[in-house]
Structure 1
Amino acid sequence: MSSIIADADRTAPPKRITSKVIQPAWVRVLHWINAIAMVIMIMSGWQIYNASPLFGFVFPPSVTLGGWLGGGIMWHLAGMWLLVINGLLYVTLGIVTGRFRRKLLPISASGVIGDTKAALTGKLSHADLSTYNQVQKLLYAGILIVGVLIVLSGLAIWKPVQFQYLTAIFGGYDAARYVHFVMMASIVGFLVIHVALALIVPKSLRAMIIGR
């Protein structure tokens, strides 16, 4: 009997290993375009900042883009259009496909606190990459809001006369610069956390490259 079972096991077709699509193609493409646009915007923005610092420091030339104020502005405007067009596509598809609703909702204070405690104690599970935990939901929803504010404050700085009402909402040109800087710092902080998590959980980076 045992030999019959063994023969059956040898002749049985091998089990197919299936992989689950975590990140659809449109998400992956827009994600990497957005990453390139953000690097251009941040580095060129630091070049522009150095021309008229808001605080008592400047950024090292090695992390800036453009070489001078005019060059920084040209790179910043190029990155701006790439970021805005890409961002509009991402938000539109995120809403139309229902991805935002599935991925980012619901968010609760108790859930965020619980997942934060679990993360700090090393008990937060990363087994299911298709579902965001409450901390991820909060961060991703928050960065969307930050993205809107940095674009609006940027427009207020870029065209303070044409967008005078928008500039006034931010409290004037100088106040808009501070808002823009704080939003930039928030995005940089998010990127640091985002990259760190990708390194801690490498399969999440693989999913953003191959989708599975």
Structure 2
Amino acid sequence: MDATAETSNAEAETGRPQKGPLIYRQSRWTRLTHWVWAFALFFLLLSGLQIFNARPQLYIGKESGFGYDNTILKIGADEADEGSRGYLEIFGRRFDTTGVLGWSGPPGNETARAFPSWATIPSYYDLGTARVVHFFFAWTLSATLLVWLIAGLFNGHIRRDLAPRLADIRNLPRDVFDHARLRFHHTGRYNTLQKLAYGGVLFVALPLMILTGLAMSPSMNSVLPFLNELFGGRQTARTIHFTVMVLLVLFFLIHMLMILAAGPINELRSIITGWYRTDPPENGTSSAERSN
């Protein structure tokens, strides 16, 4: 009797689908750094929005001010016939964002602020505290990324799990199609889209976030003066920094949707305990064999 027949008999006897084997998928270093990143990025985002509120505009170039016309994004509030209205302006096109961006707060007690109080740390305006929180978690994120990189090189996680292979590139169209249909294969290995997404965050987005943050720091300019020039000036570095933040938020939202769609219990068990339940074997093949 082959594995498929055994699985079918087991399902018929129990009335429930046969479960696949548990495999040890995530090392302790991967799990630890994952949760430190999640914690650090949460505080970085909310304290960063507080810092942005001090000057809610983005520019391209080395300088900004009244004598320049290089603003690409602005959040503010204007007086209108019906009262104060918040707005978001991108490349000269304005959108009404009253109640969320530019003008927000409890009814009757609204204030002019780019991002609302519930989206910032602290909730009240305190630039000094926001900067302390932001810098602390920025260094926490940087140190954790370095630890993950060293551990990933030594234990083979980067080479084994994240480096795309030729077969991954060939499987990309099918992988995109499967994700669009919310059809997931629990093989215990990262699929092509996961490798590209995680690799993009870990090797592009986070390092870019760190480098642009350093480029904006006046104290770091004396130590690494080339960073400012590399990104086209402090204002351009600030714009890139903000853009990467938006991309990371989008990644987080998609990441959460995929976890819910693929099976949140299994995914959370994997990143908390390291153990991941794979699909039942098909035709006598293991999950690892089907993923190759």
Hey, which of these two has a bigger chunk of helix by percent?
1
Give distance in 2, aligned partners of 1:207 and 1:123. 19
In structure 2, the residue matched to 1:88 is: 146
In structure 1, the residue matched to 2:131 is: 73
In structure 2, the residue matched to 1:164 is: 225
Deviations 1:15-63 (A, max 9, x none): xx97321112221111111110110111111111111112232221111
Give distance in 1, aligned partners of 2:245 and 2:216. 14
Count of aligned positions: 194
RMSD: 1.7
Q: Equivalent residues in 2 for 1:52-71 (5 A)?
A: 52-54=55-57, 55-57=73-75, 58-66=114-122, 67=124, 68-71=126-129
Larger radius of gyration: 2
Highest RCO, 1 vs 2 (Cα 8 Å, sep ≥ 6): 2
Deviations 1:119-160 (A, max 9, x none): 1123332x22x2011111110010011111000000001236
Structure 2-normalised TM-score? Answer: 0.63
In structure 1, the residue matched to 2:172 is: 112
Aligned equivalent of 2:212, options 153, 163, 171: 153
Hey, which of these two has a bigger chunk of strand by percent?
2
Residues 44, 137 of structure 2: 8 Å contact kept: yes
Q: Does 1:137 align with 2:195?
A: yes
Where does structure 2 lack aligned partners over 5 or more consecutive residues? Answer: 1-19, 58-72, 76-113, 276-292
Q: Percent identity?
A: 32
In structure 1, the residue matched to 2:28 is: 25
Deviations 1:80-119 (A, max 9, x none): 1111111110111111211011111225544322211111
In structure 2, the residue matched to 1:197 is: 258
Structure 1-normalised TM-score? Answer: 0.85
Q: Does 1:41 align with 2:41?
A: no
Runs of 4+ in 1 over 6 A off after TM superposition: none
